[in-house]
């Protein structure tokens, strides 16, 4: 399990460093785990692609809280998305987990995503990831660093392939912020949700 100091840094730094680490979800009957291969950074109130740029609300309050907590939101009336809160308390910054490569609990992931035709579709995309891991609004504000946490990130020494920086997905409304290369992914992973918009290798 990562120490809180890992998260208490700028979102862009945390985002890059999350690649290759492992998201773990412990349930009563199973443990699910996957290597993180795609993320997006949201860097604060000036970031017009961020939920926080209009200020603090009941929905985004977790983003303004202490680092090392989960910010889980509902979108399009049907999907949950998981973010990891970063930076200092009061600074609304977070990293959206966009894709992971399944390691443990794959049968349960398949059961939760029966429409996935191949394993590469199980957790490729933020909504698919949450569905496969059974993550919903009950995890909003969860402490990822608590000793008894059922959702957390750990380092298993797996590493990652070449890292590519690219614009974030689905934020065309954000003006110049839509073009910022704040999405990072492992170019060697087949689980990355969106390719073809590369800016530069990192």
Q: Quickly tell me which residue has 């530069």 as its tokens.
A: 200
The CATH number covering residue 114 comes to 3.10.300.10
Q: For each of the chain's 202 residues, which pLDDT tens digit applies? A: 999 999 999 999 999 999 999 999 999 989 999 999 999 999 988 887 787 777 788 889 999 999 999 999 998 667 999 999 999 999 999 999 999 999 999 999 999 999 988 888 999 999 999 999 999 999 999 999 999 999 999 999 999 999 999 998 867 676 777 788 999 999 999 999 988 665 544 4
* Amino acid 200: pLDDT: 47
Q: How many domains would you assign to the chain?
A: 1
Predicted model pTM: 0.93
Give CA–CA dist 38/192, Å, rounded.
Answer: 6
Domain extent for 193: 4-201
Six-digit token string for 140? 């909003």
């Amino acid at each position: 399990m990562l120490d809180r100091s890992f998260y208490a840094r700028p979102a862009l730094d945390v985002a890059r460093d999350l690649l290759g680490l492992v998201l773990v979800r412990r349930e009563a009957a199973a443990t699910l785990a996957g290597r993180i291969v795609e993320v997006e950074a949201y860097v604060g109130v000036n970031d017009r692609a961020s939920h926080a740029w209009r200020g603090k609300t009941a929905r985004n309050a977790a983003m303004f809280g202490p680092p090392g907590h989960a910010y889980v939101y509902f979108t399009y009336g049907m999907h949950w998305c998981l973010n990891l809160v970063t930076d200092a308390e009061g600074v609304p910054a977070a990293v959206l987990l966009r894709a992971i490569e399944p390691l443990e609990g794959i049968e349960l992931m398949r059961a939760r995503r029966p429409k996935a035709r191949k394993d590469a579709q199980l957790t490729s995309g933020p909504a698919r990831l949450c569905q496969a891991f059974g993550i919903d609004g009950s995890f909003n504000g969860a402490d990822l660093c608590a000793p008894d946490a059922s959702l957390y990130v750990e380092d298993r020494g797996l590493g990652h392939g070449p890292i590519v920086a690219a614009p974030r997905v689905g934020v065309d409304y954000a003006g110049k912020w839509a073009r910022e290369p704040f999405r990072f992914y492992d170019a060697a992973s087949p689980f990355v949700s969106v390719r073809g918009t590369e800016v530069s290798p990192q």
